[in-house]
Amino acid sequence: MTVVIATATIDAAREFFEARGAHGCEGTAMIASNQVTTRLVIPAQEATPAPYCTVSVTDQGKLDLVASLANDERYIARIHSHPATAFHSATDDANPAITFDGALSIVAPFFGLGLRTGFNSCAVFRYDRGRWIELHPGPARDAAVIIR
């Protein structure tokens, strides 16, 4: 399954993460798709700044995520930032936002600043039969996730 994400969606995520990172906080968002276009949905969230760096979606944010989907949309990816390198933490594994086969979890490094060098700076994981599988940069990932 190939997922196409608009460059503007990734750019919006970078801007959001950098704004949060300016205060030492991680951020989290969802990418909605109707199979033609994608958009970033940023829920209400609470964060603890560095050095602890935790972020969680509020109860109102969870309700807003559900309410913000159009009839022809679904969430295809969660995208969030980490304060340093991009990886899937035990917390990420324990708190998946979406869990259908083919769902993506994208981690932007350095509070989103890593996205300035391109999407390959991110860690990308695809949900497959109950677990997250890393898609390393290269031809296989380029075929699975297209940014345009």
The model's pLDDT over 11-24, given as tens digits with 9 standing for 90+, comes to 999 999 999 999 99
Per-residue pLDDT, 37: 94
Q: How far is CA 96 from CA 2, 8, 22, 93, 125, in A?
A: 20, 24, 26, 6, 11
Q: Hey, what CATH topology would domain 3-147 get?
A: Cytidine Deaminase; domain 2 (3.40.140)
Indicate left, alpha or beta for 147 from its phi (over 0: left) and psi (-120 to 50: alpha). beta
The pLDDT, as a whole number, for residue 94 is 84
* Distance (Å, whole) CA 122 – CA 115: 7
Question: pLDDT tens-digit profile of 69-81?
Answer: 999 999 999 999 9
Whole-model pTM? Answer: 0.96
pLDDT tens sequence across 16-73: 999 999 999 999 999 999 989 999 999 999 999 989 999 999 999 999 999 999 999 9
As a whole number, mean pLDDT of residues 90-108 equals 91
Q: Is the dihedral of CA 108, 67, 32, 128 positive or negative?
A: positive
